[in-house]
Amino acid sequence: MVLFEIFRINSCRGQIPPGPRPLPFVGTIPSFKKPLEAIRSVTKEAFVQEAFSGRPFMPLVDWLTKRLGIIMAPFGHSWRQQRRFALHTLRNFGLGKKSVEDRVLEESRYLIAEMLKAEGKSIDPQHAIHNAVSNIICSIVFGERFDYDNKCFSYLLKILNNHFMLTGSAAGQIFNLAPFIKHFPGPHQKIMQNFTELLGFIWDEIKEHKETLDPDSPRDFIDAYLLEIEKQKSNEGSTFHEENMVMSVLDLFLAGTDTTANTIRWGLIYLIQNPDVQERCHEEIVRVLGYDRLPSMDDRDKLPYTYATIHEIQRCANIVPLGVIHETTQPTKLRGYNFPKGTMITTNLAAIFSDKEHWKHPDAFNPENFLDENGNFFKSESFIAFSLGPRVCLGETLARTELFLYITSLLQQIQFSWPPEPQSIDMDGIMGVFHFPQSFSIICRSRDTKE
């Protein structure tokens, strides 16, 4: 078997793109632990093509999701129907419109008040930030927000965070190599247990929506989906059914919570580590808005340094350093190299975001990376945090709105600093499905509005 594997690897290296030499059975996985070298990205050229828009079969994903929903669903008829419906419905409920902006601004008031409850004392901001971010997608999908002291929802967010960490851990990777272990006890069973609890929460919401559904007045995404199932009953090609609904709802809930929340947490770390940047942002915000008016998306051009800082947080945090995995849906060529159907494709965002050819300060946290010589905001073509092409992030508009309004509101009203007690901040963070910051504590102090 070893000799056959070595022969197979060597025989197919001729026309495939250059890269680390794969080892028998484990491929290039060991290479991921080495420092990522800067590469000249061809990501845009590849991902705008449908041929690179598939999702590979992964045993862990299949075990959990049965490949339903949107994010990890294979490229095809079901995925197209589900994504098209989700985009259309989210827009109907305010995505990209003033109504969602108003929801984020209203939630930012709750978030600021929550973080100032223990003013001057050491707090871990994780729960408040996760709750605030999650409440926006919850208001669209479930039609309600949850208070920060809601113990059931707090427990759910804890499970959500734990789920992403476990899925990206060694237990999740080992499962993908040896899926037969699902029949045996082990840490991988905790992944399924967490996922089952998350599904239970969705099913409970759906049951409640069924009992109170008004066909003439849908309240949220779940209501709209229930009505679509009824509408598509006579359509043989329909992929609208309850199992797809549950996974689509869960996809929106998962994607609409953790990535943005962890980006904001990384943002607090970088802003405290760079107090000069924090102060310059605050001064710009107060000069333009004062203390009484919260920001709006229309203020982005008036706050170029703050807007650049938010993008620099995304670049340095790099929440998904290898992107969401893709797969070729058919045999294709790229820059003279052959890609057989079923080739797994990952994006080296860590290299793209630190490429010396495209960034003025590639290895440092510096908002000047997103400012031109006149101090105006400028976005490099190498900034592709939300991917691109047919698989571009479904919630990009929502994430951009939340990041700008939450971070700007927080910097307007609060000064952030480290507590006096020593704590070790590992800037490498924790790698799970996403790039998480380690737990940390901060001091929040209300800004003097009489300045």
How far CA 211 is from CA of 71, 207, 214, 215, 226, in Å, comes to: 28, 7, 9, 12, 11
Q: Please determine, for residue 37, whether its predicted confidence score (pLDDT) is greater than 60.
A: no
Residue of 5, 74, 123, 10 lying closest to 443 (CA atoms): 123
What SS3 class is residue 134?
helix
Q: Please determine, for residue 150, whether its predicted confidence score (pLDDT) is greater than 70.
A: yes
Q: Please give the Cα distance from 242 to 232 (Å, whole number).
A: 12
Q: Which CATH superfamily is domain 36-446 in?
A: Cytochrome P450 (1.10.630.10)
β-strands 337-339, 332-334 pairing:
antiparallel
Residue of 411, 367, 158 lying closest to 268 (CA atoms): 411
Residue 34 pLDDT level (bands cut at 50, 70, 90): very low
Residue of 220, 217, 216, 215 lying closest to 230 (CA atoms): 215
User: What is the distance, to the nearest Å, from the Cα of residue 135 to the centroid of all Cα atoms in its chain?
Assistant: 15
Give me the percent of the chain exceeding a pLDDT of 70. Answer: 93
What SS3 class is residue 300?
helix
Q: Model confidence over 260-319: pLDDT tens digits?
A: 999 999 999 999 999 999 999 999 999 999 999 999 999 999 999 999 999 999 999 999
6's CB contacts (< 8 A; 6+ apart) are 24
Go through 426-448 and write b for each residue having 16 or more CB atoms within 10 A of its CB, e for each that does not: eeebeebbbbbbeebebbbeeee
Residue of 17, 30, 123, 120 lying closest to 440 (CA atoms): 123
Q: Are 221 and 252 in contact (CB under 8 A)?
A: yes
Q: Model confidence over 373-423: pLDDT tens digits?
A: 999 999 988 899 898 899 999 889 999 999 999 999 999 999 999 999 878
> What's the pLDDT at 451?
47
Token pair 């440092």 is at which residue?
364
Q: Are 450 and 416 in contact (CB under 8 A)?
A: no
How far CA 237 is from CA of 87, 241, 435, in Å, comes to: 20, 12, 39
Q: Are 407 and 132 in contact (CB under 8 A)?
A: no
Residue 16 pLDDT level (bands cut at 50, 70, 90): low
Q: Please give the Cα distance from 78 to 240 (Å, whole number).
A: 8
Q: Please determine, for residue 341, whether its predicted confidence score (pLDDT) is greater than 90.
A: yes
Residue of 305, 301, 278, 302 lying closest to 290 (CA atoms): 302
Residue 332's identity, in one-letter code, is T
Per domain, the residue ranges of the chain are: 36-446
**Ramachandran angles phi, psi of 114, nearest 5°:** -65, -40
